[in-house]
A and B are shown apart, each in its own frame.
Chain A
Amino acid sequence: MAKIKCALIGSGNIGTDLLYKLKRSDVLEPVWMVGIDPGSEGLARAREMGLKTTHEGVDGLMPHVLADGIQIAFDATSAYVHAENSRKLNELGVLMVDLTPAAIGPLCVPPVNLAQIAAAGGVVNVNMISCAGQATIPIVAAVGAVQPVGYAEIIASLSSLSVGPGTRANLDEFTYTTSNALEKVGGAKRGKALAIINPADPPLIMRNTIYCEVEGAPDREAITASVLRMIEQVQIYVPGYRLVNGPDFDGNRVAVFMEVAGLGDYLPTYAGNLDIMTAAAARTAEMFAKGIQDGSIALPGVKQSEAEAV
């Protein structure tokens, strides 16, 4: 069956890492990469890998969307420009997978709610929250599956080299989006997210600590089993997602200490934060792509005649 054609917007760390993931996909075919800097290393890499590129932003891509049959676009720019990118591409019937903290569409963590979002229908924009959200929300949801989580708090430690200028200049958006998603997707009544950027050399592997305060005395056995099952679910698409310590129980507090090693596609393996974000985005897009292929998902806004013409 023909692969579903994709465009990548943003040629920084995340966009470039995502490109490697898409190149390996059985159902997705990256066709375009969009940047804003003609000298961008990411664009040069994309050209080497056979993609068409533009350094004129989304407007440089627009004339080619229908002609090249783009049906899914990944946006790894910033929350500020995402809304406009999404509006323009949605008009042409393109599904947006949003890797910025803009959070226009439903928040998605694949093992927690991807199936539900895909089944709901009518979705034109899916948001991937943040790397910290992808790394921690599965654990919060796993604890919450056993008993209610009154409060969830997560700490993401990222190596300095893996955090690009967009994230650095907009740390508050990262904090707000991740905190909100701990509640909306993780199911905690209240959520709080903390981020630490550590410059150690050699770089430290991405670490995530998840604290959950549960209501009532924690059912240790059931929580431990649920967390371990969830880790396996994430490992399907991020093999380097590993438990370091815990679950540790202290009163009603559950603590889980994780690390995320990446595949080393673009940045070395310490940058698991890139992988967990891009792998989750690729997995989400694949779910939709399979639905498009078998006809179970119709992207709204694409006229049938146009869809058939490509």
Chain B
Amino acid sequence: MAKSKLEGRKVRLHDMSLRDGMHAKREQIPVEMMVKIASALDAAGVPYLQVTHGAGLGGNSIQHGRALASNAEYISAVAAVVKQATISVLLIPGLGTMRELQEAYDCGARSVHVATHCTEADTSPQHIAFARKLGMDTTGFLMMSHLNDAKGLTEQALLMESYGANTVYITDSAGYMLTDDVTEVISRLRDALKPGTEIGFHGHHNLGLGIANSIAAIAAGASRIDASLAGLGAGAGNAPIEVLAAVCDRMGIETGSNTFALMDLAEDVVVPFMDSIVRVDREALTLGYAGVYSTFLLPARRAAERFGVPARDILIELGRKKMIGGQEDMIQDTAMSMARARGLPGTAG
């Protein structure tokens, strides 16, 4: 077979199993399991591990669910065992604060995804600047990127770069982007950002494009890719890291990670630990098809059960109403309004 054009490219994998994966586990990953998975990822050579509540710093809440332990407990426990990997956290301004970032740093986090909706980068200057002041590896993370065009995303990325971000991510939170979209956006970012600013891609597998989109991102200039073991993440999960590592091996893209070790970890530890198999099922596919925030999947199923409106109908309605990440309260609200409109029992008045 012909040699890949990407042979020799270096890419850093950023594992999401212990952050995005928290969504798939309804925030119920015990500290000991985090430590076990983190040690194994560290030994497999994965350079970055994200460790927090699924919604990041400040995530413990009624809105986003309460985890088994505090972020400080998770981060400290993982920091005590990793040898080479950098521990990262997620911070969404409006939810997480600089106080919590300082605490995460004190516990051992040295990298942060500062995340905003893809049009609201200007809510992140304080947090990005503070992360840089702490000396952290700092990413600006543009969530729900499919809701902005390439020109708009470039403007937002330039803002984050101007605040001090050393990496900017295109974040396909809904798993809605097609491969050509990824190529176009990442190429424009590569042209516009400083050569020293890295570009990353965070995919969701809702349309089955997690790997293809990640490779397209690398081809267009991305050097960091988020992925997780067996895809453990919201919706149909992230790009499965063991698959991505295998494809990179075949293409000669250097990840520095041990593919067989990742395969074993995914198969022997993570898959048996899943509540239900993370895959492109009907509702996860609906997310990717309608452009809905992947994290809405499980709360929509719970609302469906309680209020009697099918989860797919709720998700489609949330997409129609243009609800974005962080608006999980609107899932119950929407289900209640739909149940009333449909005259379902127990909804009078």
Residues of A whose CB lies within 8 Å of any CB of B are: 151, 153, 155, 157, 160, 165, 168-172, 175-176, 192, 194-200, 204, 207, 209, 211, 213, 244-246, 248, 253, 255, 257
B97 touches A160 (CB 8 A): no
A170 to B127, CA, bound (A): 10
Apart from A155-B326, A195-B95, A198-B322, what are 20 other A-B pairs with CB-CB below 8 Å? A157-B327, A157-B330, A160-B119, A160-B120, A165-B122, A172-B93, A172-B98, A195-B94, A196-B327, A198-B323, A199-B117, A199-B147, A207-B330, A207-B333, A209-B329, A211-B62, A246-B336, A253-B62, A255-B332, A257-B336
A64 to B97, CA, bound (A): 40
Residues of B whose CB lies within 8 Å of any CB of A are: 58, 61-63, 93-95, 97-99, 117, 119-120, 122-123, 125-127, 147, 321-324, 326-327, 329-330, 332-333, 336-337
**Contacts A176-B97, A244-B333 given: A194-B326 contact, CB under 8 Å?**
yes
**Contacts A194-B61, A211-B62, A211-B63 given: A199-B119 contact, CB under 8 Å?**
yes
Total of A-B residue pairs, C-beta within 8 Å: 93
Instruction: Find B61's partner among A153, A169, A197, A200 (CB 8 Å cutoff).
Output: A153
B337 touches A244 (CB 8 A): yes
- Which residues of chain B are within 8 angstroms of A257 by Cβ–Cβ distance? 329, 332-333, 336
A209 to B330, CA, bound (A): 8
Q: Which residue of B lies closest to A209 (CB)?
A: B329
Q: How far is the CB of A156 from chain B (nearest CB, A)?
A: 9
Q: Which residue of B lies closest to A172 (CB)?
A: B97
- Label chain A's interface by main secondary structure: strand
**Contacts A160-B119, A248-B336 given: A196-B94 contact, CB under 8 Å?**
yes
- Which residues of chain B are within 8 angstroms of A153 by Cβ–Cβ distance? 61-63
**Can you list 23 pairs linking A and B with CB atoms under 8 Å apart?**
A151-B62, A153-B61, A153-B62, A170-B126, A172-B99, A194-B58, A194-B63, A195-B94, A196-B94, A196-B326, A197-B94, A197-B117, A198-B322, A198-B323, A200-B321, A209-B333, A244-B337, A245-B332, A245-B333, A246-B336, A248-B332, A257-B329, A257-B336
Instruction: Find B123's partner among A151, A157, A168, A211 (CB 8 Å cutoff).
Output: A168
A153 to B328, CA, bound (A): 13
Q: How far is the CB of B102 from chain A (nearest CB, A)?
A: 11
A194 touches B95 (CB 8 A): yes
The listed residue with most B CB atoms (<10 A of its CB), out of A151, A172, A196, A246, is A196
A199 touches B63 (CB 8 A): no
A157 to B95, CA, bound (A): 12
- Which residues of chain B are within 8 angstroms of A200 by Cβ–Cβ distance? 321-322, 324
Q: How far is the CB of B101 from chain A (nearest CB, A)?
A: 10
A175 to B94, CA, bound (A): 7
Q: Which residue of B lies closest to A202 (CB)?
A: B322
Q: Which residue of B lies closest to A196 (CB)?
A: B326
Q: How far is the CB of A256 from chain B (nearest CB, A)?
A: 10
**Contacts A157-B327, A160-B120, A169-B122 given: A194-B332 contact, CB under 8 Å?**
no
A245 touches B327 (CB 8 A): no
- Which residues of chain B are within 8 angstroms of A192 by Cβ–Cβ distance? 61
Sorted nearest first, the 8 A-B pairs with minimum C-beta distance are A200-B322, A209-B329, A195-B94, A199-B119, A245-B336, A196-B326, A211-B62, A257-B333
A171 touches B93 (CB 8 A): yes
Instruction: Find B94's partner among A176, A194, A213, A255 (CB 8 Å cutoff).
Output: A194
Instruction: Find A204's partner among B122, B322, B336 (CB 8 Å cutoff).
Output: B322
The listed residue with most B CB atoms (<10 A of its CB), out of A168, A171, A209, is A171
Q: How far is the CB of B271 from chain A (nearest CB, A)?
A: 32
A169 to B123, CA, bound (A): 6
Q: How far is the CB of B194 from chain A (nearest CB, A)?
A: 23
- Which residues of chain A are within 8 angstroms of B122 by Cβ–Cβ distance? 165, 168-169
**Contacts A153-B63, A168-B123 given: A196-B332 contact, CB under 8 Å?**
no
B97 touches A175 (CB 8 A): yes
The listed residue with most B CB atoms (<10 A of its CB), out of A155, A160, A169, A195, is A155
- Which residues of chain A are within 8 angstroms of B99 by Cβ–Cβ distance? 172
A220 to B297, CA, bound (A): 30
Q: How far is the CB of B315 from chain A (nearest CB, A)?
A: 16
**Contacts A153-B61, A211-B62 given: A198-B327 contact, CB under 8 Å?**
yes
- Which residues of chain A are within 8 angstroms of B62 by Cβ–Cβ distance? 151, 153, 211, 213, 253
Q: How far is the CB of B137 from chain A (nearest CB, A)?
A: 21
Q: Which residue of A lies closest to B60 (CB)?
A: A192
A172 to B125, CA, bound (A): 11
